[in-house]
């Protein structure tokens, strides 16, 4: 009898172990496999919240099939005490394991509200935008010019929220003075800037920042990024260009940046300047004259005077030979690459064509005809403006 009891007990034990193993395998599959979420969500994890509350929130939004399995899996990985406050984008079909990694990894929030400070050629603007999880695109909530327009209430509200993200976006063609002036007007940053960085030394790009970041350190990051891009453009440049140093390339790129209104024309614009340098012709480009007047400290805000075109400044390429001594703005990657790899043309002239682009020419006669056509367009627009 005892032998039969022992046999039955052993059988039950084996079955129990198999069942337990099956449950573990099933639970592991639930934890590591694709989740049930059909549409992306923005998960808000408030400071001081518990892992239990987060798991229930995820379950209620259909992101996980079981809050219990979510917690057990996180506990098994030793991550239940690593929860980070913030706003996190949970993608459709994300597994529990992936979600745990997102909310415990740390770093910046990946969705929710973002305040973007845009440093443009003509102005500084602040934009409050929110990521729409449905299509992973930002929707603008409000925008204004700090120091010029009244501060919107929504901006003030979002500045007070701890999970708001911040970004500084630098446009191509801004000057170093404009960048520093704008950074000084951003209340999210701290610290003084001892001196203006050299012209052209800052990379136009988007930079994520946090409240309390130091202005000088952000400028150093911009400079480090630009140095790497200039090095890449110089290393990959075409042979036999009339450029002796990476600084020459940077200066030429800054002129290309200021002269190019249509992105597709960069290489062609670059070719005009390269051809003129090869032929010993003066570059004769208006943005260099403007820089000689403003020194990069703001926008001229009017047309150039004839006297300014004739005035001898270190940057006036109607007067000086070759390239100016320094860049006239901070060029972006595309202009830097165009300076090192210009189009293969014989153009030595260009003028505006009325569409935002340019009409290019090989001869002076052809160029004069293009200029005459541009004058006609200007006159037509002036008449239309007067009629309006």
Dihedral sign computed on CA atoms, order 272, 277, 283, 288: positive
Report how far residue 175's alpha carbon sits from residue 119's, in angstroms, rounded to the nearest whole number. 10
Tens-of-pLDDT digits for all 388 residues of the chain? 444 444 455 455 455 545 555 556 555 777 777 878 787 777 778 777 888 888 888 888 887 888 888 888 788 788 778 887 777 778 788 888 888 888 888 666 667 789 999 999 999 999 999 877 777 778 888 999 998 899 999 999 999 887 788 999 999 999 999 999 999 999 999 999 999 999 999 999 999 999 999 999 999 999 999 999 999 999 999 999 999 999 999 999 999 999 998 999 999 999 999 999 999 999 999 999 999 999 999 888 888 899 999 999 999 999 999 999 999 999 999 999 999 999 999 999 999 888 888 999 999 999 999 899 988 887 887 777 665 5
Give 281-336 as a 3 state SS string: CCCCCHHHHHHHHHCCCCCCCCCCCHHHHHCCCCCCCCCCCCCCCCCCCCCCHHHH
Other CB atoms closer than 10 Å to residue 3's CB: what's the count? 7
Q: Are strands 113-119 and 165-170 parallel, antiparallel or unpaired?
A: parallel
Report how far residue 202's alpha carbon sits from residue 329's, in angstroms, rounded to the nearest whole number. 9
DSSP 36: -
Report how far residue 375's alpha carbon sits from residue 372's, in angstroms, rounded to the nearest whole number. 5
H or E element, residue 13: helix 2-32
């Amino acid at each position: 009898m005892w032998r039969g009891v022992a046999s039955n007990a052993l059988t039950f034990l084996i079955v129990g172990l198999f069942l337990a193993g099956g449950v573990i395998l099933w639970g592991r599959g639930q934890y590591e496999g694709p989740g049930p979420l059909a549409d992306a969500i923005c998960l808000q994890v408030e400071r001081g919240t518990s892992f239990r509350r987060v798991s229930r929130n995820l379950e209620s939004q259909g992101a996980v099939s079981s809050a219990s399995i979510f917690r057990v899996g996180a506990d098994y990985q030793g991550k239940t005490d690593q929860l980070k406050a913030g706003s996190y984008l949970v993608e459709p079909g994300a597994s529990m394991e992936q979600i745990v990694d997102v909310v415990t990894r740390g770093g910046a929030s990946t969705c929710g509200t973002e305040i973007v400070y845009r440093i443009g050629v003509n102005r500084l603007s602040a934009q409050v935008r929110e990521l729409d999880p449905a299509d992973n695109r930002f929707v603008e909530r409000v925008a204004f010019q700090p120091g010029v327009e009244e501060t919107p209430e929504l901006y003030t509200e979002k500045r007070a929220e701890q999970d708001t993200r911040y970004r500084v976006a630098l446009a191509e063609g801004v000057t170093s003075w404009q960048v520093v002036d704008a950074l000084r007007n951003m209340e999210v940053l701290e610290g003084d800037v001892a001196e203006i960085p050299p012209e052209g030394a800052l990379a136009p790009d988007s930079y994520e920042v946090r409240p309390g970041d130091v202005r000088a350190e952000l400028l150093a990051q911009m400079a480090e990024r630009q140095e790497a891009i200039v090095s890449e453009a110089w290393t990959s440049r075409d042979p036999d260009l009339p450029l002796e140093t990476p600084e020459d390339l940077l200066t030429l790129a800054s002129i290309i940046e200021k002269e190019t209104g249509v992105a597709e024309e960069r290489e062609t614009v670059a070719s005009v300047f390269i051809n003129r340098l090869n032929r010993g012709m003066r570059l004769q480009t208006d943005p260099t004259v403007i820089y000689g007047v403003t020194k990069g400290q703001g926008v001229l805000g009017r047309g150039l005077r004839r006297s300014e075109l004739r005035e001898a400044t270190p940057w006036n390429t109607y007067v000086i030979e070759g390239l100016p001594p320094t860049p006239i703005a901070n060029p972006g990657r595309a202009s830097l690459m165009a300076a090192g790899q210009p189009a293969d043309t014989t153009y030595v002239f260009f003028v505006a064509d009325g569409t935002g682009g340019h009409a290019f020419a090989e001869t002076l006669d052809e160029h004069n005809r293009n200029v005459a056509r541009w004058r006609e367009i200007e006159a037509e627009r002036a008449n239309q403006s007067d009629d309006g």
